Structure formats: C-alpha cells, structure tokens
Chain A
Amino acid sequence: MSVVELSRLQFGLTAMYHFLFVPLTLGLSILLAIMESIYVTTGRTIWRDMTRFWGVLFGINFALGVATGLTMEFEFGTNWAYYAHYVGDIFGAPLAIEGLMAFFLEATFIGMFFFGWNKLSRAQHLGATVLMALGTNLSALWILIANGWMQYPVGARFNVATMRMEITDFWAVVFNPVAQAKFVHTVSAGYVTGSMFVLSVSAFYLLRGRYRGLAVRSITVAASFGLASALSVVVLGDESGYMASLNQKMKVAAIEAMWQTQPAPASFTVIGIPNIQTHETDAAIHVPWVMGLIATRSISQPVEGIDNLVSEAELRIKSGMIAYGAMETLRRHPDDATARTAFDAHVNDLGYALLLKRYTPTVTNAGEDQIAAAALDTIPPVLPLFFSFRLMVLLGFYFIVLFGTMFVLASRREVEHYRWLLHVCLWSLPLPWIAAELGWVVAEVGRQPWTIDGVLPTFLSVSSVPAVDVWISIAGFVLFYSVLACVEVFLMVRTIRRGPENEPHPARPGLRAVAAE
C-alpha cells in the first residue's frame, strides 16, 4: 500500500474510533445538565443520584474521547503535512479557538463536576455542569467549522508568494452555511446517541426489576429529549443535503447514484444496485419528484448527474491548467501582468489542475486522455455512499418512531406495560453509533478525491514519510485502541451492573418493583 492509502486508513480508523466517544459525550452532557436542573429546582435527591450515576458513565466515556482526540490533532501534522502547510492559515484557527473558547471550559468544569459535589453549593455545581455541557457543544461547533471549510472552502484564496491558501474573510469561514448545518446535524446525532444510551440502560434495569425510580425518570427525560433530537437530526440532515446540493454536487449525485441529469423535478432512488461500470443503477425503485424537491427545493431546477459533472470537471481542469501555467510564470516573474490576469481569471480551478499531478508532474503538458482520467477521478466511491446514506436515513426515521412511542408511553406512565418494547429499547443501543459512523462515511468519503473540496486533492496532502513508519503507527494504534476499547466496555458494563450507589440493591430482583406499583 502507498503512503496515501495507509495514511487514509489510519486517519479513517482513528477518526471513526474517536467518533465512538464524541456523540455520547455530547448527548450525555446535556442530559446531565437537564437532570441536575430538575434536582436543583425541585430539591428531590433522586435527581441528584441520577445525575451522579449517569455522570460516572459519562466520565468513563469522556476519558477515551479526550485521549483519542489528541491523536486527531496530531495527525494533521504527522500524516498530512502538505495539507497542514497548504491550508493551515485557515484550518488551524478554528482548532486553536476551539481550545481557547470551548475545550478549556469543558475540561476545567468536568473536574468540578466530579470533585465539586461536596465543595460547591447546589447552584454552583449546576453552573459547573451547564458550563461543561456548553463547552462540549461549543467544541463541536469549532471542529465542524473546520470540517465545513473542507467541504465548502469559503473566504480564502491561493497566494503564489507563499504557495498556500490564505484567509480573506474570517467571518465567511465562521458563518459558512455548510458548517452551521453540519453542526446542528452532528450535535443532534450526539443527543440521539446520549438519549438512546440512557433509554437502553434504563430499559435494562426495568427488565431486571432494578432501580425502578431512576429508570422510569431517566426514560421520561431520554424519550422526550431523544424525540426532539431525532426530529432535529432528520430535518437538519435534510438542510445538510440541501447545502451539499448547492456546493458539492458530485457528492449528492454519488450518494443518489444519479448517473445522468434528469429533467426537473428529479426522482429519488429509494434502493437499487449502482453499477459503476455501466453508470446505471440496476433494479432501482424510484419515487418521482422527491429528489428534485430535496436537492433544489423547487420543481423546475434539474439535479445534475455524475456524467455531466465529469464533463464539467474536464472544463475546470483545462481552466486550472491555465492558472497553473500562470502560477509558474508568476513565481519566476512576480510582476508579469499578463500572467497575473490569467491567474486571477482561473485561480478558482487551480485545484482541478492539481488532480493531473497523478498523471503528469508538470501539469501544463497534460494530454486529452490524462485530462479525461483526472476528471473521472472526481467521482467518489458510489457504492459505499449510496448504501451508507440509505441505512443512515432509515435509522434516523426509526429513532423518531422509537422515541415517539416511548414518549407517548412515558407521558401516560405506561413505560413498564410493554416488556417487548423494553427489549427493543435495549437492543437498539448500538444503532445511533452505527448511524453516526455511517454519517461520517457519507460526509468524508463523499468528499473524495479531495481533502479540501475543489482545492487540494487527497493524494497530494500527505506527508513525505516512509510507508514503514505509517505501518508502525497503524499497528500501534490498533493495538492500543483495541486494549482501551476492551477496558472501556468492561468498566461501562461493570458500572451499569453495579447500578447507582445510593439505591439499595433489592434482595429479590423484581419484587420491589411490583410492590411499588
């Protein structure tokens, strides 16, 4: 395997691993703040015990989230050094501001959350919990501003003198519509994960007849918060899709396996088998109009298909070659006015010319067949996108139905009446994680072949390190991460089995629950 493939493998593995812990941290932090608010306003100690119990699980999860987050920050430098130099002027700032504004808040007050119960007043402790939750969510905001810029690089421009992208409009980067949509979509997915975690563990207690008071109340909170979040995740997912259709047309076309442009309004392919050889989708089931409505929010605008977008990419590559040639001239003669005019006219396509570097290092001498091959490279892997997206959406609707049902039952105080539903809740535990990982695949595999959409190809972004070094680091991470995953799951399960500290373990499981009816 090449250094590019190895680096992508490592980044994918470590990012997906890190993203096992992040959604739960996001969701549980808010749920803890809600539970503790109820404790402080009503003064009923069961809500404090609930906050402390879910807090212990939150802490076990948080430690690994922090530890694996370090890896992410290091990797941009260790494995993607050319990327780091090429876009650090824009990409680094949100990461640094995340540390200053959000992560300090989160990490400082998490210490107070655990160690402050006997040192702070009730209101002060609630304040610490709220600030911790606020820090967690602000942290996601800045990370997604950075990620949003990779998907839709606004407010920046290439500088010939420094051979890198430089910022022109900081506020455009911050208020990037793609970043804002992704932020709400991602934190909502985190809230769904936190709610499902609380729902499943509570369902487990009810099925065992243990800790009924804690479990019933937890289900009420989780079902209502989960329902609101699941609705938000689907609606904002749609917003994300709309934004992508404006800016990342190829990503949308690949997700839909839309090979040819359809007359407006385009139909939506519910399911089928995309054939990457023939550029057809076999055995497809279509729903008329829906795709056009989602992607363009109109019935008159067409949605562009993959084949058309490849032809457009060819034109952009040719335009980029002019920019590249002008750039070479400007580096030798910075005052050449003709080259400057040509460069300014074509600079937005410079990234497309870089796709040619795989075929010809000089770029400007590329032949038609090389241009055609580079244009085909702009198609991301259709199959994983097509299926990941559909499964993710299916899960999204499932969450709405499940949380909706539990919400109705909780408001009628009938949660314990349907044991089979409690089993469903228990076994649904892994689903939000699966949905979140699929979402990551759709967003980041859909960005290929670019690290920065239209600006910098992935294969150019890597560090010049020996492949053997990357093999060593992959082996190190796999070993370390596997051990830590086992330890984490072991501690989680053990803590859940032991249950909250302050509630006495009933001598005969089930009896106390029945007696309390």
Chain B
Amino acid sequence: MTEYEILRLVWWAVLGVLLIGIAVMDGFDMGSAILLPFVGRTDMERRIVINTVGPVWEGNQVWLILGGGAIFAAWPAIYAVAFSGFYLAMLLLLLSLILRPVGFKYRSKLDGTNWRLAWDVALFLGGLVPALVFGVAFGNVLQGVPFRFDDTMRMTYEGSLFGLFNPFALLCGLVSVAMLTMHGATWLACKTEGAVQMRAQRAALLAALVLAVLFILGGIWAANLDGYVLQSFAGVDAASNPLNKQVGRAAGALMANYQAMPVTVAAPVLGVAGALVTAWLASLGRLRVLAWVSSALAIAGVIATAGVSLFPFLLPSSLDPVSSLMVWDASSSAMTLLVMTIATVIFLPIVLAYTGWVYRVLRGPVTAADIEADPHTSY
C-alpha cells in the first residue's frame, strides 16, 4: 500500500468517525429538542430538558462544524457537489440549525408564555428538520445523485428539492429521526428524574423499536436498489480526477461488499443489536448510562452500514456515473491529508479529554431545584 492509498483510507474512516461524532454528540441535543414538547409538559419540565443540554450544546455543535470543515479539507469535491447540489435542502438545514443556538439561549430570558411557546416550537423544528434532512441526504447518496462534471471540473446538478424527498430517501429520513430521538431519550433518562425521566424512557423504548424495524426495512429495500459498480479506474493512488474511470449500474450492488468481505456484516448487525439492547434497557428502567452507550453504538452501526454499502463510492452520480466521486478520486492531495492527519492525531485526544472532564463536572441529574437556585443563568 502506498502512503496516498493509506491516507485516503484513513480519511474515509475519519469521515465516518466524524459523522458518527455528529450524530452521537450533536444528535442527543437534537433528540432532546424533538422530545421537548412531549416529555416536558410544564414550563419547569421543559426548562429541565433544555438545561440538561444547556452547558454542552455549544461544544456538541462543533462536531457538526468540524465535520463540514473536514469534508471541505479532505474531500473538497464532495463538499462542493453535496452543498451546492442540495442547495435548498441545505438552506432548510441551515435555517433550522440557526434556530437551535438562539432557542436555547433566548427562551428563558423572558417569562411570557407565548414567547416561550414560540421558542419551544423553534427548538422542536431545530431538532426535527436537521435529523430528517441528514437522513434524506443519506438516502439520496445511496441511490445516486443527478450531477455531472465538465472537463474543467465544473459541476452541474439536475435534480430538484422535491426530487430529494423520494420514498426511499424519506424512509432513511425517518430512520435518522428515530435514531436521534432514541438517543436524545436515553440522554434525558440519564439526566432527569421523576415524570420527565419516565416519559423519556418510554420514548427511548418506542424510538429504539421503530429504529430497528425501519432500519431492517431500509436494508431490504436497499438490497433491491440499483447500485454502482466500479469497472475500471486510474488506481488507488492516482491524482484526484473523477473523470478517469468507468462505472456501471447493477441491481443489488449495495450488497456487494458484504458478500466480498463478510466481516463487514458487523456494521448492520451492530445497528440492529444496538437498537434492540437500547429498547431492552429502556424497558428495564435501570442501567441508563449503558442504554445511552448502546444507543450510541446503534448509531455507529447505522452510519457505518451506509459507508460500507457505498464503498469505494462516496457520492455516486445517477446522471453520469463516470462523474461519481469515490475514495480514490475525490480526496485532497497527499500532503493536505497528511497535515490533517497530524492535526487530528494531536488535537482530537485533547478535545476528547477536556470534553470528558466537562461531562464529569456536570454529572448527575438536572432538577427543578437547580434551576430555581440560579434562574437567570439557567436556560
């Protein structure tokens, strides 16, 4: 293996880790926001829900920002095609993501019922819309996206916003919503007490079962979809130019990697098993931290399944399969990948260390007494 090939594989894995990081860390904030109107009936209960994520949502959101930055740096062609191709969907995502920070921060600054209700709706949408759009985006990537490159590497996209919301993509969107709702529910079960905790556990049980069912359904559907097959290409360490390859389409191609390398079946198995274990632990009403961990593992399994099914593709083109972007022709130069690897190896452990410290400082449930003790700083 050459250095460039290894670096590309490393960044394929890092991309997966970052997406899992977004879903696990930012995901429980979004899940909590989705659950806000349902597990919090009174204003105080809602404040408790919001304050469980209050001190950490800013840090969690950096996973999303880092994810965007890392795709830009390591996979610039993916960044260019996905962000401009999904233009209006990205706008929808962005506007809903903007609602979250201001919603958390501003909701409890005033006492008015309408003011707080408006922000509750904003927070609910700020959790639901990103969860849905992420899933729908994955659903489209699995099916291929209608774009092509010309010989100056200018990309044109020939789809529409409504085309993105096709049945398979919507199913993936629901998988994503169920997944983040489950994850938010396991978080709230850890960080609250009493009625809110009971409702959160019921929500975790329900969402985990829905996730398991929808994910299996999605797998069966995906097995019958047309996938993409790499017929010839310039090599695993060739310059990143997507136009130097031949790509065909075949039914069931998304399953090819599992047949060629049976160990990869671990990914979907983890997704289903993680969801079922989460459901079981939620019904027990004990071992709540373990439920959060198994929920995080389920998320890792679901996202890894998408990555393994597509490999070596990252973003196939349905319009012009030759333009498809894959691990071997959509990356940055070897030097950029190396610099980014060194930066990640140095800084990511530091980030994980102080993030861990913060969660240790904040351990224990959030109660009404905590909020009453400090009504102005609390959200």
Contacts and interface: CB of A to CB of B under 8 A. Distances in A.
Contact of A89 (B54, B66, B104, B336): B336
Nearest to B88: A469
Interface in A463-517: 463-465, 469, 472-473, 476, 480, 484, 487, 491, 494-495, 501
Tell me whether chain A's interface is mostly helix, strand or loop, or mixed. Answer: helix
A62 B57 CA distance: 13
B234 to A, nearest CB: 9
Interface stretch (B75-83, B131-139, B296-304): B75-83
A479 to B, nearest CB: 9
A56 B376 contact: yes
A255 interface: no
Interface string B356-379: 001001100000000001101100
Given A78-B84, A81-B83, A491 B106 contact: yes
Interface residues of A, number: 77
B166 interface: no
Interface string B108-138: 0100000000000000000000000000000
B61 interface: yes
A391 interface: no
Interface in A387-407: none
A159 B240 CA distance: 10
A76 B109 contact: no
A85 B77 CA distance: 5
Given A81-B83, A108-B358, A115-B377, A167 B336 contact: yes
Interface string B68-99: 11111110110111111001101100110110
Contacts of A463: 80, 84, 87, 155
B61 A107 contact: yes
A105 B357 CA distance: 12
A473 B88 CA distance: 8
A77 B77 CA distance: 9
Interface string A123-158: 000000000000000000000000000000000000
Interface in A94-108: 95-101, 103-105, 107-108
Interface string B337-355: 0011001100110010011
B220 interface: no
Contacts of B74: 92, 96
Interface bracket on B: 35 or more
Contacts of B70: 92, 96, 99
A98 B65 CA distance: 10
Contacts of A70: 64-65, 94, 97-98
A218 B104 CA distance: 29
Contact of B343 (A68, A100, A103, A166): A100
Nearest to A77: B83
A91 interface: yes
A337 interface: no
A8 interface: no
B209 to A, nearest CB: 33
B156 A90 contact: no
Contact of A92 (B79, B102, B152, B355): B79
A84 interface: yes
Nearest to A101: B347
A78 B358 CA distance: 34
Contacts of B90: 74, 77-78
B58 A66 contact: yes
Nearest to A171: B339
A79 interface: yes
24 contacts: A60-B106, A68-B98, A73-B72, A77-B84, A85-B76, A92-B70, A95-B73, A99-B65, A99-B70, A100-B343, A101-B347, A104-B66, A105-B351, A111-B58, A115-B55, A115-B377, A117-B374, A162-B333, A463-B80, A464-B154, A464-B155, A464-B157, A484-B102, A501-B376
Interface of B: 54-59, 61-62, 64-66, 68-74, 76-77, 79-84, 87-88, 90-91, 94-95, 97-98, 100-102, 104-106, 109, 151-157, 239-241, 332-333, 335-336, 339-340, 343-344, 347-348, 351, 354-355, 358, 361-362, 373-374, 376-377
Given A111-B54, A473-B88, 5 more contacts: A88-B77, A96-B74, A107-B59, A116-B361, A463-B155
Interface of A: 52, 56, 59-60, 62-64, 66-71, 73-74, 76-79, 81-82, 84-86, 88-93, 95-101, 103-105, 107-112, 114-120, 159, 161-164, 166-168, 170, 331, 463-465, 469, 472-473, 476, 480, 484, 487, 491, 494-495, 501
